[in-house]
Amino acid sequence: QVQLVESGGGLVQAGGSLRLSCAASGRTFSRHAMGWFRQAPGKEREFVAAIRWSTGSTYYADSVKGRFTISRDNAKNTVYLQMNSLKPEDTAVYYCAARSTFATIQALSDANPYDYWGQGTQVTASS
C-alpha cells in the first residue's frame, strides 16, 4: 500500500504564501508523475499542477500559472506546492496524487488515472 500525506495548509490573508508538502511512503511503485488538485465547497475537484517524476517537467492550470510552483525531492519522496500571491478563490481542500502510468504533459490534468491520493489539507485565503 502507498500512503500520501499532505501538510502545510492553513489560513493566510490574500496576497500571502503557503507551501504544501506531500510525502509518499509505503511500498515502492513506479511513479510517473505527481499532481496537486483542489476542491472548493460546492465545486468539482480541479487540477492545479503536476510534475513528471523522472524529468521534473511541470504543468499548471492557467488559474495558478505564475503564482504556484510545483517541485519534488526524489530523495525524500516528497512533492511540494509553493503558493504565492494567494487569492480568496484559491480557498479549497488541496489533494496530492500519484500515478504510475505515462501521460502526455497535458493529460496530467486528468484526475481519473491517478492511482493514489492523500487525505487533503485545507487552504484558506481570506480577503
pLDDT tens-digit profile of 79-119? Answer: 999 999 999 999 999 999 999 988 888 899 999 999 999 99
Nearby residues of 35 by Cβ (< 8 Å), 6 or more positions away: 47, 48, 49, 50, 51, 96, 97, 98, 99, 108, 109, 111, 114
Cα–Cα distance, 56 to 59 (Å, whole number): 10
Residue with cell 481570506: 126
Average pLDDT, the chain: 94
Nearest to 122 by CA among 1, 9, 2: 9
How confident is the model over 51-75, as a mean pLDDT? 95
pLDDT at 74 over 80: yes
Three cell numbers written together for 72:
519534488
Distance separating alpha carbons of residues 114 and 127, to the nearest angstrom: 33
